[in-house]
């Protein structure tokens, strides 16, 4: 697939220290690698390209940070990875990556751009690609659940080993749920000492109602609240269902 190479600005290490894997603290880096390993066990190699959504209950829990860093460690292991910013309402991937936010997903879904023109090749790794969200459309939820979205993911799946989609929070808008029918599974980000238990219960109830396969949870915790990263933990979902959801264990064992 011929991907455009946009002349990216040189990444400033200072401005990107929260999302560039190589600038994270050792503990966080190791936890992302653990997340990568756990995902490879959770997902069957046979199923081809894995399409993974990243969501949470509320705003600001670390979805985009997780999506960027996860896609980075996957690419670092040699996989061909595409990171899509599916949060059309509050996109942040382009800002974190210091690239233009359009053209991107919305332009592709409106039929105004080709796949090739909607994707950036990252300057850090030759197998790490980014599709920004594009301009805010009037109907993000409909676009994400559209036949064109399904078709685009089908085509992209033939070219990538992993597609990571950064999504809006489940409790605020329906976008993550509408696109869930096209993906392999969802990672739920929980920010320690931030995510309310009842919000989390609502989030898992919504995911359950939409029949979404939850691959696992990432616990994003900031230890000192001064902007430095604490630990990232990845837990298999079944460790959480007792606390947060009404799921039967058989279902969660598959996860
Ligand atoms: N573990 C952490 N320690 C310190 N700061 C963090 C941590 N995780 C995320 N942040 C910061 O918190 C803010 C929100 O993170 P991020 O954008 O990843 O969240 P989000 O869930 O995608 O938010 P939104 O719902 O608005 O899309 C960002 O400024 C990010 O740099
Ligand atoms: Mg975000």
**Selected residue with higher pLDDT from 162 and 8:** 162
**Selected residue with higher pLDDT from 1 and 88:** 88
- Residue 148 inside a domain? The answer is yes
* Domain coverage including residue 113: 21-254
Q: Is 126 exposed, middle or buried (0-12, 13-18, 19+ CB in 10 A)?
A: exposed
Does ligand 1 lie within 6 Å of residue 242's CB atom?
no
> Is 53 in contact with 183 (CB distance < 8 Å)?
yes
Strand order in the sheet with 185-191: 120-121, 128-131, 81-85, 162-166, 50-56, 185-191, 214-220, 232-235
CA distances in angstroms from 189 to 142, 153, 200, listed in the order given = 24, 23, 10
Residue nearest to atom 6 of ligand 1 (CA): 227
What is the DSSP code (8-state) at residue 11? Answer: P
> Is 222 in contact with 230 (CB distance < 8 Å)?
yes
pLDDT digits (tens, 9 = 90+) for 92-146: 999 988 899 999 999 999 999 999 999 999 988 999 999 999 999 999 999 999 9
Q: What is the percentage of the chain residues whose pLDDT exceeds 70?
A: 75
Predicted confidence band of residue 18 (pLDDT cuts 50, 70, 90):
low
CATH number of the domain encompassing residue 243: 3.40.50.300
C-alpha of residue 100 to centroid of ligand 1, in Å: 20
Residue nearest to atom 14 of ligand 1 (CA): 60
pLDDT score of 3: 62
Protein residues placing their CB within 5 Å of the ion ligand 2: 63-64, 92
pLDDT score of 251: 30
This prediction's pTM: 0.85
- Residue 3 inside a domain? The answer is no
- Residue 16 inside a domain? The answer is no
pLDDT digits (tens, 9 = 90+) for 139-183: 999 999 999 999 999 999 999 999 999 999 999 999 999 999 999
> Is 104 in contact with 134 (CB distance < 8 Å)?
yes
C-alpha of residue 114 to centroid of ligand 1, in Å: 30
CA nearest neighbour of 145 among 183, 119, 103, 93: 183
C-alpha of residue 90 to centroid of ligand 2, in Å: 7
Does ligand 1 lie within 6 Å of residue 61's CB atom?
yes
- Residue 78 inside a domain? The answer is yes
Strand duo 232-235 + 128-131: pairing? unpaired
pLDDT digits (tens, 9 = 90+) for 223-236: 544 433 334 444 44
- Residue 6 inside a domain? The answer is no
| Residue 80 pLDDT greater than 70, yes or no | yes
- Residue 194 inside a domain? The answer is yes
C-alpha of residue 232 to centroid of ligand 2, in Å: 17
Does ligand 1 lie within 6 Å of residue 92's CB atom?
yes
The whole-number average pLDDT for the span 197-221 is 92
Per-chain mean pLDDT for the chain: 81
The residue to mutate among 14, 65, 221, having the most atoms of ligand 1 within 8 angstroms of its beta carbon, is 65
pLDDT score of 41: 84
Q: How far apart are CA 251 and CA 213, in angstroms?
A: 9
Residue nearest to atom 10 of ligand 1 (CA): 62
| Residue 9 pLDDT greater than 60, yes or no | no
- Residue 240 inside a domain? The answer is yes
Measured between its terminal Cα atoms, the distance across the chain in Å is 32
Question: Which residues are within 8 A (CB) of 86 and not within 5 positions of it... i.e. 6 or more apart?
Answer: 53, 105, 133, 144, 165, 166, 167, 168, 175, 176, 179
Does ligand 1 lie within 6 Å of residue 127's CB atom?
no
Q: How many domains does the chain have?
A: 1
pLDDT score of 245: 35
- Residue 186 inside a domain? The answer is yes
């Amino acid at each position: 697939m011929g991907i455009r190479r946009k002349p990216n600005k040189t990444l400033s290490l200072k401005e990107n220290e929260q999302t560039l894997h190589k600038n994270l603290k050792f503990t966080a880096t190791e936890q992302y690698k653990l997340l990568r390993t756990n995902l490879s066990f959770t997902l069957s190699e046979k199923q081809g390209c894995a399409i993974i959504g990243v969501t949470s209950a509320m705003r600001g829990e670390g979805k985009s940070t997780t999506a960027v860093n996860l896609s980075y460690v996957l690419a670092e292991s040699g996989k061909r990875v595409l990171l899509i910013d599916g949060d059309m309402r509050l996109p942040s991937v382009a800002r974190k990556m210091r690239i233009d936010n359009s053209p991107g997903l919305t332009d592709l879904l409106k039929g105004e751009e080709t796949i090739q023109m909607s994707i950036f090749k990252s300057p850090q790794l030759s197998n790490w690609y980014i599709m920004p969200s594009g301009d805010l459309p009037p109907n993000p939820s409909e676009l994400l659940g559209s036949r064109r979205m399904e078709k685009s993911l089908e085509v992209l799946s033939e070219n990538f080993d992993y597609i990571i989609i950064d999504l809006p929070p489940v409790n605020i808008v329906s976008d993550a749920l509408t696109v869930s029918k096209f993906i392999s599974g969802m990672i739920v980000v929980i920010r320690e000492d931030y995510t309310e238990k009842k919000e989390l219960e609502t989030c898992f109830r919504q995911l359950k109602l939409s029949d979404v396969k939850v691959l696992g949870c990432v616990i994003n915790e900031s230890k000192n609240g001064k902007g430095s990263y604490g630990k990232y933990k990845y837990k298999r979902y079944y460790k959480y269902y007792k606390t947060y959801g009404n799921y039967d264990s058989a279902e969660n064992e598959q996860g």
